[in-house]
Chains A and B, each alone.
Chain A
């Protein structure tokens, strides 16, 4: 069986339902609305838009919605069961769903970050193209890591209720100053955007940390699925 066959169902869940589209639209309106209002008042800067609105709220909540949509609003086990009953490996089916959600979150997060930079840009900011490209790069890494982290949460608890727990843990740990904050993607994503660095890690180290969180979260989520 080819792996792409297993991606078919989560991909269809993403594009054929409104489970992802409505939150994406709603949070985008919030992000762009706040940014444009700040710009109209002459108080906008792309850093502020990304660090105060996008990184803590919009991006995690959009990724949360994308993961929920790719899994059909259920846990990883239940979401892959329709394929498992035809003979798909439960772990591969779970991994396929996780990868679809992660890639979708990376693309959407990168696009949103770049567009927000364009909307918030003012004369005092660095050159627009360079800033938008860097924000897209950070958005892609951060979106992927957040989605993978939520996929891992979806592998815990009834009907994937651990996903909400992962969202809360991401906020709580990400806001804490201790070493524990390096375990969650928000800390590293904020560091990539030029926010307070995660403990003593450099920006490249935070980028690698996001990659590691993505890979480890997907692997652990897949490993939790047994039958």
Chain B
């Protein structure tokens, strides 16, 4: 579905060195930071950036051609929908342009918990809602067989983010490509991971090694009161290292059993509501270091 041959791309001072890659139906992650070139590569797949060298084919054609774009759902950060149209009008217009049969906006939006947005103007949506609506439209379109998502869990409406892994998995015949700097986010939606480092595709791995290539047990706890949980975890002797962001805490330990007990005790102490506890994949830095060996699947 997507094939690059010695493709070199440059965007926003981020280079992708000549890369040969073939992505068929399935869920793929381009894992790396902006400076590693994954966003430039994704933008090239969406037809927004021209290759500097080499070639790229999406669904057998040039990615910027209208006939290809009609079959591609591109969800970049900073996406804009028609500002003066209501969401239901935008969906109807998109389906007309894509030559899909008309359907009710509710049937498109409800699977993502966005039904209430149907009558909202595009200009009144926030960035997360805008991306969620565009994603819902693309996934509901029978024409769309390639879906390109930049940072799938960043600036995404919470109900859509929660539904995203299952909805992407349900689109079995599509080629889904996500570009992200988060191994955790990638592991939630992708089946294989193309790891980039400073513009170079260093290796393509599957989920198993992504999770296995770890020296110490590490878990991510998504909780309602992250600060309280982090404070409680910091008191636990089994905690070797912890880090947290707005929605989750990542904690390292030496022993899996001791770490599990420490997490349990910290949750009880902090009295926080826990949404999920999952083994944390290797960090991007770990992966780039670990896979600096010869490349599989890259030319």
Contacts and interface: CB of A to CB of B under 8 A. Distances in A.
A6 B94 CA distance: 10
A219 to B, nearest CB: 19
Interface stretch (A77-85, A113-121, A167-175): A77-85
Interface string A211-222: 000000000000
A13 B67 contact: no
A222 to B, nearest CB: 14
A88 B95 CA distance: 11
The contact size tier of chain B is 20 to 34
A124 interface: no
Contact of B80 (A17, A81, A86, A227): A81
A161 interface: no
Interface residues of A, number: 22
Nearest to A87: B70
A1 interface: yes
Interface string B96-111: 1111000000000000
Q: Which residue, B68, B80, B81, has most C-beta atoms of chain A within 10 A?
A: B80
B163 to A, nearest CB: 22
Contacts of A89: 66
Contacts of B74: 85
B93 A9 contact: yes
B85 A227 contact: no
A124 to B, nearest CB: 47
Contacts of A17: 84
Interface in A57-111: 72, 81-90
B213 interface: no
30 contacts: A1-B96, A1-B97, A1-B99, A2-B96, A5-B97, A6-B97, A8-B85, A8-B89, A9-B85, A9-B93, A12-B84, A13-B84, A72-B83, A72-B84, A82-B81, A83-B93, A83-B97, A85-B74, A86-B69, A86-B70, A87-B67, A87-B68, A87-B70, A87-B72, A87-B98, A88-B66, A89-B66, A90-B66, A227-B48, A227-B64
Interface of A: 1-2, 5-6, 8-9, 12-13, 16-17, 72, 81-90, 227
